[in-house]
Each structure stands twice: as structure tokens, then as C-alpha cells.
Amino acid sequence: MPGSLLVISAHAGDFVWRASGAIALATARGERAKVVCLSYGERGESARAWRDGLALDEIKHLRRSEATSAAAVLGAEIEFFDAGDYPLPESAELVDRLVRVYRDVEPAVVLTHPPADPYNGDHPAASRMALQARVLAQAIGYEAPGDPLGAPPVFFFEPHQPEQCDFRPNLLLDITPVFEVKRQAMECLPAQRHMWDYYTDLAVRRGVQLNRNAGPNLGRTHGTRAEAYVRLFPQTTEVLA
Amino acid sequence: MPGSLLVISAHAGDFVWRASGAIALATARGERAKVVCLSYGERGESARAWRDGLALDEIKHLRRSEATSAAAVLGAEIEFFDAGDYPLPESAELVDRLVRVYRDVEPAVVLTHPPADPYNGDHPAASRMALQARVLAQAIGYEAPGDPLGAPPVFFFEPHQPEQCDFRPNLLLDITPVFEVKRQAMECLPAQRHMWDYYTDLAVRRGVQLNRNAGPNLGRTHGTRAEAYVRLFPQTTEVLA
Amino acid sequence: MPGSLLVISAHAGDFVWRASGAIALATARGERAKVVCLSYGERGESARAWRDGLALDEIKHLRRSEATSAAAVLGAEIEFFDAGDYPLPESAELVDRLVRVYRDVEPAVVLTHPPADPYNGDHPAASRMALQARVLAQAIGYEAPGDPLGAPPVFFFEPHQPEQCDFRPNLLLDITPVFEVKRQAMECLPAQRHMWDYYTDLAVRRGVQLNRNAGPNLGRTHGTRAEAYVRLFPQTTEVLA
Amino acid sequence: MPGSLLVISAHAGDFVWRASGAIALATARGERAKVVCLSYGERGESARAWRDGLALDEIKHLRRSEATSAAAVLGAEIEFFDAGDYPLPESAELVDRLVRVYRDVEPAVVLTHPPADPYNGDHPAASRMALQARVLAQAIGYEAPGDPLGAPPVFFFEPHQPEQCDFRPNLLLDITPVFEVKRQAMECLPAQRHMWDYYTDLAVRRGVQLNRNAGPNLGRTHGTRAEAYVRLFPQTTEVLA
Amino acid sequence: MPGSLLVISAHAGDFVWRASGAIALATARGERAKVVCLSYGERGESARAWRDGLALDEIKHLRRSEATSAAAVLGAEIEFFDAGDYPLPESAELVDRLVRVYRDVEPAVVLTHPPADPYNGDHPAASRMALQARVLAQAIGYEAPGDPLGAPPVFFFEPHQPEQCDFRPNLLLDITPVFEVKRQAMECLPAQRHMWDYYTDLAVRRGVQLNRNAGPNLGRTHGTRAEAYVRLFPQTTEVLA
Amino acid sequence: MPGSLLVISAHAGDFVWRASGAIALATARGERAKVVCLSYGERGESARAWRDGLALDEIKHLRRSEATSAAAVLGAEIEFFDAGDYPLPESAELVDRLVRVYRDVEPAVVLTHPPADPYNGDHPAASRMALQARVLAQAIGYEAPGDPLGAPPVFFFEPHQPEQCDFRPNLLLDITPVFEVKRQAMECLPAQRHMWDYYTDLAVRRGVQLNRNAGPNLGRTHGTRAEAYVRLFPQTTEVLA
């Protein structure tokens, strides 16, 4: 039985720019993928809508609608916690909701924000809650439906200014086969049209780097698209490669 | 065609304690494995032989013989550069010899010492030369027989006092199926009998840690044996796991 | 007048595996030792009891009873805050209770968890509260009985996966004379029988490392048992050694 | 039998500013102290003499004479390798000479420069050679008179711009009882008169910090003088304090 | 129009010791400078007053009065949040008050504590709130009077024990022209008379370091006074210098 | 008198991709700019020429010619040391040649490679020699024509895979006004045509980041082009900004 993918992000758009390649790869393999958006990013990530004069509820509705479309393009489920952003408040209740998602999804792989971001405090807050909930879900003594979780690996996706966030990729994921799907998902977010090319360029850049680290047989040199990740826990394997 | 494994170590015994699990796994899969010992460890790693009054040549012969036996148990080729130890001298000539080995073996995976070790300067020296030679071998303009090398991943094997060497494992290799072979290889080095149990205990300890990081399905809880490694370059992959 | 030892741990069992050598050494010298367990570890560290079908209260009672026995073996006082675990909640009230303990015990030495542990959020939480309370207890203006605290040194004891917790020992404590006492204390925790040998092996391993760092006269080579610590603040001394 | 102190410094003046408190404490306890100056600092540390128009030999003679006087004040032996400075060349020959000093002095404690200093490449070069020689001297197979060395602890003394050299003190040495001796030793170097007050102020500053880390009983608050050090290897001890 | 300077400190005295040179430089240029003291430092930084038997309200009044005098000497505005210290509680309300200050002052430069200080938890708490408020104030969607903030650079001022706080200065500010003003400001705090000389000596020390990093023309060698800072975000410039 | 810019690079092409914006800005201000290429990059950076069957001398001639054209476009002087690459050998002679350049150019600003690059050992070798020569050139006692050097700031330019080289930019240089000149300079290197767009995209990416860190007035949002640098020594200044 194929494993599931769980993506926990602070705002409605994060998973699209940073992890939709990984999501599309998973669903293309027939795996379940679920995205949890802790907030809509209604205050901190919706500058254009505020400048256009929309009200808070309209902005939340807009962001929800865009993210839902993007998830549909990717073949992923999506759930919105509507916990508020700027700041995203950390609480035992939110963490408990995440524990329940872990127990339900039983993810084989978890994606979330890296734990440092001096430009956006919601990202580390989401990361801390995602990691804490994962540990709590592992305990048989934690009261929540479902079985205790195993130890799914956690990967941090790429922040906007990686070096300032101590983000040093230790994994480059080849998303070439699904890059057009990622592009389509990005185009579901028209208010951030300037990001479409920005993250396309980034995929090219990470693709070049992937080719430079691609192992003994360096065949492809053009056209590779990649996403960068940081693996948190040690990889466990039976084969070095 | 399966890839080859290249192991570059400072002294004759290093590969046995630190990497023979990985070697045995590779040869069990039918892959070529080659070990290069830059020195015999005749001065720095042969205290008992010196105390027993052996002469330098006798010690080198003894170490060569033991390491050759261990390699045979593991099904690996072995080559001795006899460059001297304590200190292992770094030189362009030694690096060039390593380039030629890289071009010949065309390794899919490279193992060597980590770059820091305050207890033994030969280990970082070996590491630096192994890494420099790998880069040189990649250049079509470097004059040596064979084709330019690809970009085989490099893994650092575990030093004796890992925390003091900034060794933070990011990969745990399951060597359970071949642990008895590793034990046999260790027993080819009778002068360091106290190390047999020491590295057996370490394999148990790393095995416990492997189980704690083993992914979504935590089945095994006893009997796992593991070796710890640090992957130097970003992993490249098409599947997050 | 000999100083006191204060040990602050997240769960009921932590002090046994990680610091009972230091405790036994202190009580053997006639010093007071006090252990504070912020929780019983009833949810996160009692998997077997949950699998055996015990109720929450039964588990807390069991853990309390075991830890009390272990403390008795070590000659230490023990106090349980019963603050809950998984998660251990951080609060001003808990910190205030710790301040009062500091003012009462007037410790010469403080032991607690290191501040990072991606496998268990309760450990860093306990560490943060232990350190914050120590600073507050130093202020004459903080309202609590007793005199302002001096500046007792703090040592972090060893986590389960040291490298993943950024734990780089800078002190190795020779616990050879009291190792049998530590073993007895561990045997007070029968539900974690597999840990007895695990932490015995660790004491051997740290003992080997102690011998390799033991100063100008390297006499002993077998039988040394040690615990590893990280000293947080600079050592102050009148003699370099 | 009290242990010996070995100080290895790049230039003739380094030991005076950075470590003469530790030296004076050792000799006051009746211990042997030996200083090795790898160079006279004739090119890089003698700006005034060059501006005064002295010739190279005159400068070397002057520096030798001043350092000899300072060592005499401290009660320490001193040996000059005259290896040249700016740059201090690293070589197997220099390291071998240091090995012979280690084997002769059998130090209980070793002091040298920290391994990073972007302002002065001779300091890291001296540090690397001091550390390599210590390891070589430990090997019974290394050909040099005397017995194999034990594992004397190494302490790095304070560079001129500590934060830029990654120098984070983990030991503060109380030199109050011998501070006047240190001042006298400094005054043996008249060409660097501005340093006398500079390093007196530093001793005050480190003294204030010592008091803030002084353990459970914070008695003294004025008059303490201290030197800062970084301990390289883990401390080994039978008592936490 | 010249920019404004905003200084956010945990206690009433912090800005005087650590940043009054920068403040005096700004006001001497005719710029607005505003200091926010989150607490009076009434419990943790007023040991003498407590020993003298003053009541809490008297101490707060005293500290307010002293800090107000120092701000007047510097030509700066000052505002007291009276949020309490030891511990300084972190809360959404405090952060929101800071957001309003940011929106009002529209600072061109922000100064606050560095994010680590094992000796005083209030300093990191102030730092975290200052940084979070800055990010929130940038969002058009955050409800507070005024325009969204730009991206003013943030500089951390120097803690008491810099190396223990991971404080590695990357900017040395020449405060020679206003040093006498800083001294006067310090003398507004008579209860901490011993700090006057301590921070004068520090200004000399940082001044010596400034001269050693002063660029292509090293003219001055005496009399320079400096304050050390850490710039948090990348400098943006049109000229390398 | 405006200061000079000195750029020290390992291979003939490095300065074009990584620093030609800074060079063009300097020459546009009427400042002298000098580039030193330690080698032509004939073995390690000329894969296409080797595949095309050129001989070593032809390749060196080609690289020299291209780099000379690029320097001419930028208005910079260029000097080739022809020291060989892959590996670039470190030697006292090369360092001495660099000292003489420093003494001649009297740079106000120095640019070179960062000290870590696991993909190319020549880059760190060039960096080490550039930094060592700078320190030697400062010493009045070092025998070379010219006056002792001051303390020009050093900036590391961006490597190809920044995160893997521990390259964390702390300065973003706005090169918008000269970007077309940089593009022209890049187009002087036709064999690496794929790099033209790659480094154009990078300039856009660093430009976006510059805008996000641009201080209190965030005006521009499109069209900014930037180069990223790491400042090695503390900035010295009289104004915080």
C-alpha cells in the first residue's frame, strides 16, 4: 500500500510555490496527498487584495478558493484551519488538531516550513507546531483517535530567502515530469503573477544544481526542474546511493 | 550494470571498523568494492606491535596481511599506497594516484573519513586528498587515463569520538543482513581484539537509532545492526522517502 | 559545607538513565541531591503500560513508585510536580515552583536536559524552564522565600540520540566507583529492561572516551564507566587542568 | 610530582599578553613551565622597530632579549625556534622539533593559539603544528627520544579580536594572585607600551565575567583579574563543579 | 527627510550602556530617536535598591527617573511600557503595542537585544517581540494606525558577555564625537557607578578594534571610541566599502 | 582620490560571472579596477574546448583572450599569473606575487572567492592565498616594494552552489545601472553561453531579495539587479544604515 503525503503550511499559498512538485509526484504515483493550511494568509500574504480594498472575509474567501483550485490541479486534499495569521498563534488546541490529522492520514512523508525565517514569524510557528504534533501523535498515551504514528521522515521546503533562513538543501527532488502541473497550480494564484516566473526560474536553478550532484552518471544537462528540501532526521536505508 | 564502491582510508584498519558493513552489503549485491589504504597505520595504529618489539617492516607486513584477510572476507579488492603515517603526508603525487583509481573504478559511491578529527591528523588528511582527487577526476582536462568522472555521492564513515569530530550522522545504514561478515572481518585484526566488542556495541547502538528513525512503519525493535554515515553532497532523487 | 546537587528532568525516568552516576557520586560524598520530575512521563514514556491496558492514574502511580525507588537507591530526595507530559506545558507557575526549589536547595551544581531534542519536545521545555528559573532565583527582587541564588554551574545530561540534539560533550564524568549503584537504580525500572544494557554499554563507550582524554597519565584502559555532559557556562578555576 | 606547562606561540610576545597569568600561576605552584616561540615576530609584530630603522638581525635580537626577560620574570624556560614569521612556514621539520619538546617536557597542560585568526595567519599555523605534534608524540611508533605522550589537555589562549576568531571562552582562569607578575612581564616589552593598559583592562573585564560565572558563592565583586581560555578536548573529572 | 531611530530594550538601563553612542550620533544629526523600555528592570536589574530596602513602586519610580534623565541627555524620546521584568512576559498585547510604535515612528533603523542571552531571559524575550512586531507592522493587512512599514535594518547591541551570547560583531560604530555625551548619560545611573568605567573601557576596546578594521587608510590609532553591533539582515548598497 | 578595486580569482572566467557588476560600478565611478586571474582555468573550466580537441596552449590562449575582452568591456586591468589549475597549487611564491600586487594597487576594496567550496578546490585555494597576501602586505617588515597596506575590506563573491559553500550573503549590491555592461562582459565568453541566462536569472533573484531588505523606503519592486557578497571583517562606520 503506497504511503501518504502530509503537507503542513502556515498560509494558503505556501504549498503551491514551495512543494507542489513533490505533491504532484506523489499523486501521479497514486498516493494520497493532504495539505493543511493553518491560515489563509489573509493579513500577511494578501497585500494586493488589501490594496484593492477587499474586506477581511472576502480576502479569506478568495485565498481559500485559489488554494482549493491549486490543490485540485495537484490531485491533493486540502483542509483549512483558519487559525489566523500575522501572527499565527501557537496553541495546544492547534497542535491537537494536527495530531488528529497525523493519526488520520498516517503519512509516510511530512513536508513543512523550516524552523527559522526572520522575514515571517508564521513560518517557524507552523514548523514548530507541525513537529510537535508529529511527536505527540507517536505516543500511545496521547488521547486521540487512531493508532500511534510511526516515524515518518520530515522535509523542510524552501523559504523565500534560503540563506537567511539557514536553509541548506540536503536533498534535490527531480520534478521534471510534473513541472507543467506545478506551473498550472501556480497559475491558480493570479494575484501573485510575478511569482510564477520567479519560482519557474528557481526550479531551473535547483535543476542545474541537481544535475551537478546527480551521481555517477551525469547524463541530462538541460531541462531538469527541481525543488530543494532539507531532511530533518537521519535517512535510514539498506543501500548507499 | 551495478555501480562500484570506492573506500579511501588513511590506515589499514579503518575500513574494517567503520565501513565493512557497507562493503559487505555492496559485494553481497554483486557489486565491485575497492579499498585504498593510504598507509598501513604502522606508526600510529600499531601500538601493540611496537610494544612487542617488532621492526617497522615487520609491522607493515603484519598490517598488510591482516587488512588483506579482512578485505577477502568482505569480497573486496584492496590496494596499499604505503605513503607513511603519523603523519600521512599530503602531496600532489598521492592525489594523482587517487585520481587514477577514481578513473579506473568509476565508483557509484565513495566512502572516506570525515574532514575533522582532533585526535588523528591522518584522517582529515586522507579525507582532503580523497575529496580533491574526486574533483580533479571529474575534469576532462586532467591528464589521466580513462573518462571524466561523474559526481558520485560521498559518505563519511564514523570516527572514534563522533561528537568531537563534528560528525552528525544524516544516514543510518542497515547492516543487519551482513553483520556476521563484519564481525568476521574484524576478527582478522587480532591485535585490536578489544575493538571487536566495541564496534559490535556501536552497531547495536546505531541500530537502535535506525529503528527510531525508520519511517512510517516501525516494525523491528531488536537485532538491528547499523553503521552511521554523513552524506556530503545533496541527495538527488525522484521520490521523497 | 558541601554543596547540593539539583536535577531537573521532564519525566520520571530521565534522571536514572542520564544522570544517576553523578547523583550517586554526590551522595557518596555526603552531599544533598534533589531530583525534580516535572511530570511522570505518563503519556510519552510509558508505552508498555498503555499496551498493558493500565489507566492513566495507575500509570502515574507506577512511574512515581519506580522513580521513588530509584532515588532511594541513589540516596537522593525526589519531588514530583505532576505537570503533565506530551506536551509538558510551559508556564510561569511551573517556573515559579522551580524558583522556590532553587532558593531552598541552594544548589552548587544543576543538571538538566539539553535545549534541543527533535525527538521529544518535553525535554527542551524542561530545559528552558530550569534555566529560566535559575536566572530568576538569582534576583533579589524576585519574590520567593530564601536568599538570592549564586551562579551554580549547569550541566546538560546526555539525550538518547546525542548528535541529533547538537549534544557535543565537553565533560566526561568518571562514574566507575558508583556504577553498580547506577545499575541498581536502572533495575528499579523493570518496564524498560532493554534500557539497562543499552545504558550500561553507553557507560562503557563514554568510559573509553574518558580514557582517551584523561590527561597526561593514561593509566587505566579497561573498566572505566563514564557519563557525558555539556557544561553551559564557562568554567571558573584557579588551576588549569 | 607536579605536572609541567608547555606554551607554544607563533611570535616572541604572544605568551606575555595572552598566557602569562597561567604561566605565573604554574611556576608559583612550583611547576615547570616552558615556552616555545616558533619565531621572533620580527616581520609582523615589530612595526616600531622597522620604523626606527633597525635591521632584521637587530630586531630579532631585540625581540629575543625582551621575551627572555619576560620569561625570567615569570619563572619560565624559553626556547626560540627562529623559524621565521609573516609567514610562519609550516613544515614536517618544525613539527618534529615540537614532538621532541613534547617528549622532553611531558606537559600536564598545553597552551597555544586558537585555530582561526583572519588577522594573522601565523597564529593558526602555530596552532596546527602544536596540535599535530601533540598527536604524533603520543604514538609509540613515532621515532623521537622519550616515552609516548599521554593526552594532556589543550587550552587556546585569547586572540586580539576574540569574536572574529570564533573564540568563545569556556574557561576563565583567576589570575588575581599573580597579576602583578603579569604586569611586570608585560613591561619587559617597552615597544608595545600601549598594550600594557590594554591587556590590564582585558584582565579586569574577564575578571568581571569570572565573578558572574563563579558558582554558588558569589563573594568577590571587585579586583578579580582573569584570563580567558577555550578548552579543546572534553574535561575529564570525578567531580562536577 | 532624515530617518528616525527606534531602540527597543527590555529594561530601563539597557539603552544607556549598550546603544547611547548610536542614539547620540543620530540626534546630533538632527534625527528623531525614540527609546521603548518594555520594563523598568525593577526586579532583575535593581539589586542595590532592593538591598537598600526600597519598595517596588519606589524602585520603578527611581528607574524611570534615571532613564528619563539619560534619554534627555541624549536628546531622545522615551516611553515605558511597564510590562514587568524577571520575567518579562511575552504576549500578543505587548507585540501589538510595539507594532503601533513602529507605525508611528517609521524608523529608518532599529536597535534591540540579540536573540540569545543565557544570563538574562528578558533580553531574548524583548528581541523576539521587537522582531515580530517589525514583521507584523510591514503587513498592510495588520490592523493598526499608520502605513505599512518598510524594511528598516535591525542592529543588535552588545550584551554583557558577548561570546556567551553568540554575539559576533559585524559592525563597529565610531562614537568618538559623542563619547562624552554617552558618559554623561551613563552618569545619570548612579546606582551602577561601577558600570561607568566598565563601559568606558569597552568603548576603548571596541575603538581599538575599529581602527584595526578601518579600511585602506589607517590613520588614527588613539582616542577612538566605538560600539559594537550585529546587523541582522543583509546590507543593501550601491557602493562596496 | 577614489580607491581602487582588487579582484583575485582562481580561473579566468570567475570574475565575469560573480563580480563584474561590482567592477563595472567601480569603473563607472572612475575608480581603478584590477583583476588577477591565478590560472586560466584551462583544465577544470574548459570542458567544451577539450571536447573540441584543442591543445592545452590553445585553450590557455583562448581563455586569456576571452577574459581580456571581458575586462576591457568592464574597463578593468587584468593580469594572468598562469599558475595552473586543477589543482591550483598553493605556494609562497604565488602569495608573494600577490603581496606585490596589493602593495602596487593599494586597494580600497578586495574581492575574492569564499573559503569553502566542496565542488572546486581551486576556489578555496585562491581565497586562502588572497587573504594571506593581504595580511603579509600590511606588515612593514615584509620585504616588497611599496608602503604597508591598510586594512581594506574583503568581500567574498557568490559561488555556484551558495548553500553548499556556507555562503550566506550579508550584502546585496545594486548593479541595476551597470547590468547591461555585465551582460556584455558575460557574452565575451561564448563557450559558456548557457551561463549567460543563468547569471542573468541570478541577478534578478538577488535583486528581488535586495528589494525585500532595502530599508525604510521600499519603492522599486521590478527591474532591480543585484550581486550577493559576504563581508569578511566587521564594517566600520560613523552612521548606522
pLDDT at A191: 86
Q: Is the pLDDT of residue E150 over 80?
A: yes
Query: What total number of domains does chain E contain?
Result: 1
Mean pLDDT across the stretch C198-213?
95
Q: Contact B26/B33 with Cβ under 8 angstroms? A: yes
Nearest-by-Cβ selection for C118 from A131, A140, A141? A131
Alpha-carbon gap, residue D34 to D75, rounded angstroms:
9
| E215 torsion bin: left (phi>0), alpha (psi -120 to 50), beta (else) | left
Whether F226 and F209 have beta carbons less than 8 Å apart is answered as yes
| Residue C23 in grid coordinates | 547523583
* F132 interaction partners in chain D (CB closer than 8 Å): 87, 121
Task: Kindly report the three-state secondary structure assignment for every residue of C106-153.
Answer: CEEEEEECCCCCCCCCHHHHHHHHHHHHHHHHCCCCCCCCCCCCCECC
Cis peptide before F87 (omega within 30 of 0): yes
Average pLDDT over residues F225-240: 97
d(CA D159, CA F44): 38
Quick one: what percent of chain D has pLDDT higher than 90?
93
Please report the pLDDT score of residue B222 as a whole number: 74
**Identity of the residue in D43, D56, D87 whose CB atom sits nearest the CB atom of F132:** D87
Tell me the backbone φ, ψ of residue F156, rounded to 5 degrees: -90, 130
Average pLDDT for C215-229: 83
Distance of CA F76 to the CA centre of its chain: 12
Q: For chain F, list the contacting chains (3+ Cβ pairs, <8 Å).
A: A, B, D, E
Radius of gyration of chain B (CA): 18
Residue F1 pLDDT exceeds 70 = no
For D101-131, the pLDDT digits (tens) are 999 999 999 999 999 999 999 999 999 999 9
Alpha carbons C180 and B88: distance in angstroms, whole number: 43
pLDDT tens-digit readout, C160-173: 999 999 999 999 99
Closest CA to D236 of E29, C217, F149: C217
pLDDT at B221: 63
CA dist C112 → C9, C93, F45 (Å): 6, 19, 53
Here the cell at position D156 is 587556546
Average pLDDT value for residue range A41-47: 95
Q: Report pLDDT for A221.
A: 63
Which chain E residue shows the shortest CA-CA distance from F108?
E216
Nearest-by-CA chain F residue for E206: F236
Is position D64 within any domain? Answer: yes
E84 in C contact zone (CB under 8 Å): no
CATH assignment at residue C208:
3.40.50.10320
CA distance E104 to C7: 48
Q: Using 50, 70 and 90 to split pLDDT, how confident is the model at D220?
A: low
pLDDT in tens, B124-150: 999 999 999 999 999 999 999 999 999
User: What is the 3-state secondary structure of A20-84?
Assistant: HHHHHHHHHCCCCEEEEECCCCCCCCCHHHHHCCCCHHHHHHHHHHHHHHHHHHHCCEEEECCCC
Nearest CA in chain C to B160: C209
CB-closest option in C168, C198, C204 to B208: C198
- Taking CA atoms, B85 is separated from B37, B60, B82, D136, in Å, by 11, 11, 9, 10
Is residue A238 in a domain? Answer: no
- DSSP letter at E239? S
The pLDDT assigned to A8 comes to: 98
Chain E residues with CB-CB distance to A162 below 8 A: none
Q: Does E42 touch chain C (CB under 8 A)?
A: yes
Average model confidence (pLDDT) across chain A: 96
Average the pLDDT over each of B128-132, E212-216, F224-228 and give the range with the smallest value: E212-216
Question: Does C224 score more than 90 pLDDT?
Answer: yes
The answer to whether B113 and B126 have CB atoms below 8 angstroms apart is yes
**Average confidence score pLDDT of chain D:** 96
In the block, residue with C-alpha cell 635580537: D61
For E39, the domain range is: 4-231
F119 at interface of A, judged by CB pairs closer than 8 A: yes
Nearest CA in chain F to A205: F198
Neighbouring CB atoms inside 10 A of B238's CB total: 11
List CB contacts (< 8 A) between C87 and chain A.
92, 95, 132, 136
F198 with A212: Cβ contact below 8 A: no
Place of cell 490531485: A75
* DSSP state at residue F3: -
Instruction: Inspect the structure and tell me whether chains A and D have 3 or more CB pairs less than 8 Å apart.
Output: no
Asked, for residue D241, whether it belongs to a domain, the answer is no
Strand duo A171-174 + A226-231: pairing? antiparallel
F79 pLDDT more than 70: yes
What is the residue-averaged pLDDT of chain E? 96
Q: Is residue B236 included in any domain, yes or no?
A: no
Q: Is residue C238 assigned to a domain?
A: no
| F6-29 pLDDT tens trace | 999 999 999 999 999 999 999 999
The CA angle E168-C228-C2, to the nearest 5 degrees, is 95
- Tell me how crowded residue C111 is: count the other CB atoms within 10 A of its CB: 28
**Cα D23 from chain centroid?**
8
**Given B216, B236, B237, which is nearest A3 (Cβ)?**
B216
Nearest CA to D21 among D77, D70, D78? D70
8 Å CB contact between D169 and C234: yes
Find the mean pLDDT for residues B86-109: 97
Q: 3-state class of F148 per DSSP?
A: coil
- CA–CA separation, B140 and B125 (whole Å): 25
Burial class (CB in 10 A: 0-12, 13-18, 19+), C196: middle
Mean pLDDT calculated for residue range F113-139? 98
Whether D118 and F234 lie within 8 Å, measured CB to CB: no
How close does chain B come to A140, measured CA to CA in Å?
Answer: 13
Best mutation target, B43, B86, B122, B165, to test chain D (most D CBs within 10 A): B86
Q: Which helix (H) or strand (E) holds E97?
A: helix E92-105
Residue A155 lies in a domain: yes
pLDDT (mean) for E119-141: 98
Burial class (CB in 10 A: 0-12, 13-18, 19+), E54: middle
Q: What is the pLDDT of residues F128-187, one digit of tens each?
A: 999 999 999 999 999 999 999 999 999 999 999 999 999 999 999 999 999 999 999 999
Q: Among F205, F10, F24, F194, which Cα is nearest to F119's? A: F10
pLDDT at residue C64 is higher than 70: yes
Average pLDDT, chain B: 96
Instruction: Tell me the mean pLDDT in the region C20-31.
Output: 98
**Residue E55 grid cell:** 519598595
B237, part of any domain: no
Residue percentage of chain C with pLDDT more than 90: 93
DSSP A115: S
Chains contacting B (3 or more CB pairs within 8 Å) = A, C, D, F
Residue D232 in contact with partner chain B when CB distance is under 8 A: yes
Read off the amino acid at residue B107.
Answer: P
Closest CA to B154 of B211, B205, B115, B96: B115
Please judge whether E210 and F236 are an interchain contact, meaning their C-beta atoms are less than 8 angstroms apart: yes
Task: Let me know if residue E236 belongs to a domain.
Answer: no
In the predicted structure, residue A74 carries a pLDDT above the cut 70: yes
Q: Write the secondary structure of chain B as one string of H (helix), E (strand) and C (coil).
A: CCCEEEEEECCCCHHHHHHHHHHHHHHHCCCCEEEEECCCCCCCCCHHHHHCCCCHHHHHHHHHHHHHHHHHHHCCEEEECCCCCCCCCCCHHHHHHHHHHHHHHCEEEEEECCCCCCCCCHHHHHHHHHHHHHHHHCCCCCCCCCCCCCECCEEEECCCCHHHHCCCCCEEEECHHHHHHHHHHHCCCHHHHHHHHHHHHHHHHHHHHHHHCCECCCCCCCCCCEEEEEECCCEEECCCC
Q: F168, A163: Cβ pair inside 8 Å?
A: yes
B179 to chain A, any CB pair closer than 8 A? The answer is no
Give which of B101, B206, B220 is closest to B157, Cα–Cα. B206
- Separation of alpha carbons B6 and B8, rounded Å: 7
- Give me the pLDDT at residue F220, please: 61
Q: What is the rounded distance in angstroms from the CA atom of residue F169 to the CA atom of residue F183?
A: 22
Distance, in Å, from the CA atom of C176 to the CA atom of D58, rounded to the nearest integer, reads 58
The torsion of the CA quartet D80, D103, C241, B166, rounded to 10 degrees, works out to 90
